[in-house]
Structures are given as structure tokens and as C-alpha cells.
Amino acid sequence: MSSSGAPSRKTLSKIATNRLQKELVEWQMNPPTGFKHKVTDNLQRWIIEVIGAPGTLYANETYQLQVDFPEHYPMESPQVIFLHPAPLHPHIYSNGHICLDNPSDKHTASMCSGTHSDYVPTIRPSSILIFFELAF
């Protein structure tokens, strides 16, 4: 731990760096509708703007997702949380943590309170956002 008490983040492996660079280029060439990657110099932490879809409770609202990629991405799942203020939604806790769990669909990534039991390395950041399109 660092002197500030926060755990130090390990740097990305070469495989993780190459994969994220490729995914970022793909995102920039074909961005998912309703989502905008805020450009930073930190490949390990993406900030994504989520724009509420027209005709929904979240229309004209903008929220921010923080996606933290672990050292061994894609073999380990990223952590995805909403930054404050998080939207009011039954699957989003007040601290921004997300619970996307559909027990009837075994192909859905389970992301509940930091657990990712159904995560597979072929899921890309843009694929994860499909879950938010359904909710927003």
C-alpha cells in the first residue's frame, strides 16, 4: 500500500496493453451509440459518458462510468462503476456499483457487487455497454 492508504494498482501486462490499445482504436472508429469515451492518458482506466436514450426516464441525462482494467485483462474482468452521481436504478447502488445479473440467461455477464462469475475474455468494453442500453 502507498502512504495514502490506497492500494497501488499494478501495471498492465503486455497482452493487456496490446488488447486495450486495439479495443480503443476499434471504439474510436465505431463508437457505440449513446456512449462516449473521454480521452485520457490512462489506458488502464476508461471514463465513459453514458447518455440517456430518448423516450426513457434517463433521456437527456448524462452519467459517467469508470472502467478499471486489471493487470491481466482480458483474462480478468474489468471493474465497472458509475461515478457520482449515479443514476437511480434498481440495479445500481448509491455508491455507483452495478448489479447486472440475469439468472435466466447464462450468456449474460454477471456483474454484481464486484463479482464477475460469468465473465469471459472475449467480452469487450463495447459489449459490456450493451447491458446499459437495455437499462437506459
Active site residues: 99
CB neighbour list of residue 53: distance below 8 Å, 6 or more residues apart: 34, 59, 133, 136
How many whole angstroms separate alpha carbon 133 and alpha carbon 33? Answer: 9
Count of CB atoms situated within 10 Å of the CB of 6: 8
How many whole angstroms separate alpha carbon 28 and alpha carbon 10? Answer: 26
Distance of CA 86 to the CA centre of its chain: 14
CA distances from 122 to 51, 54, 77, 125 (A): 25, 30, 10, 10
